[in-house]
Structures are given as C-alpha cells and as structure tokens.
Amino acid sequence: MNVRYEMHIAEKEALAQYIVEHILVNNSTITLDSGTTMVAIAKKILASSLELTVITSSFAVAEVLSRTANIDLYLAGGRLNHIKEAFIDQNSIDFISTMSSDLYLLSCDGIDVKKGVTIGAPEEVAIKAKMAENAKKTICVVDGSKIGRVKLKEIFPIETIQQLVTTSSADKTHIAAIEAAGLPVTLVAETPSEA
C-alpha cells in the first residue's frame, strides 16, 4: 500500500467530510485531482446521496466512484503513473482539454504566498494547470502540513485559485499571509473535539 494513505488520516477525513457537506452541489460537474485527499473525498461522495458528473485523471478516485450509479464518471486515459495512481501524460492532458467543470478540487504538495501552488513532480504541472483552466472555480484542498511548504515546481500563483480549504493544524503565520494576499481560507477542525 502507498504510505501516503497512512499520513494525516484524520485531517484528510475531516477535509473530505467538509467538502461533501459544504462545497459540493448536487447535479454539478466537478474535476477531482489525484492524491490521497482526493481519494478520501471520493469515498465521502460514495457514502453520500450526491449525484455528480466527475472528471478525473486519478485511477484511484475512479475506482472508488465507479461503485455507484449516482456518479457520471469521466476518466482521462493514457499511461498510468503507478506512484501517483493517475494518468498524467499528454493523452490525459488532451482529454482534459476537451472537458469543462463547475469546480476543480486541486491537490498539491505546497502552498506559499510568494512561491504559489507547488508540486514535487514536475510532470503533473501541465494537467493540473489544464484542469484549473477548464473549471469555473478552483479550490485547493490540502492538509495543514502543506501550508507554507514550497516544493520543486510551481503549478501557478495563488491568485489562480479562488479558495483554500485546509486543516486547523496549518501554520497560523502562513495562513495570515495567504489571507492578506486576498485568498479566502477555510480552516477545518481535524477531530470532533476541535469542532
């Protein structure tokens, strides 16, 4: 099993619950990124009564959402990146280029006011940028460990996204700087005791 699934479990669960209860709108079209937080969101969607059209390049997300008829699922194909459990090659980008959505739920490895939204795998930049370009709204959904972190490659500046949803464990100084730059931030409690 991928060790990323074992990291920040409570935070990912809390984020997924928040997204399903407060962000997703029945009968809308969403683009779900790849990553373990997106898989957690897919599991919460599966457990809900939401009816959605979902576009994804994530094999892991598609595997979860394929278990319900409530989801009209579009999976970008191409060559599978086994580490990312996603299709991120040019074939996938070409497919995503033909699709539009109401909302893109973005995952990344770091978000910083000066360095923007960053990723450790440069090969993912093009597909993430295309997903954001083809969505009416982009929300970055990451656990608190990603706030203030800068990874290898910038995907785009924070001005490209319309909202950040993260957990209350995020560094408060970095959150204040992100909010001062004009990006709305929603902090989600990681455990019921924090609610």
Residues near 172 by beta carbon (within 8 Å), at least 6 away in sequence: none
State pTM to two decimals.
0.94
Distance CA 195, CA 177 (A): 24
Phi/psi of residue 30, nearest 5 degrees: -125, 155
Closest CA to 10 of 140, 110, 109, 143: 143
Bigger pLDDT: 17 vs 192: 17
Bigger pLDDT: 111 vs 83: 111
Q: How many helices (H) and strands (E) does the chain have?
A: 6, 12
**What pLDDT does 7 receive?**
58
Q: What's the mean per-residue pLDDT of the chain?
A: 94
Distance CA 110, CA 60 (A): 21
**What pLDDT does 190 receive?**
85
**Which pLDDT band holds residue 8 (cuts at 50, 70, 90)?**
low
Strands (E), the chain: 29-32, 52-56, 71-75, 80-81, 86-87, 101-106, 110-112, 116-119, 135-141, 153-156, 163-167, 185-188
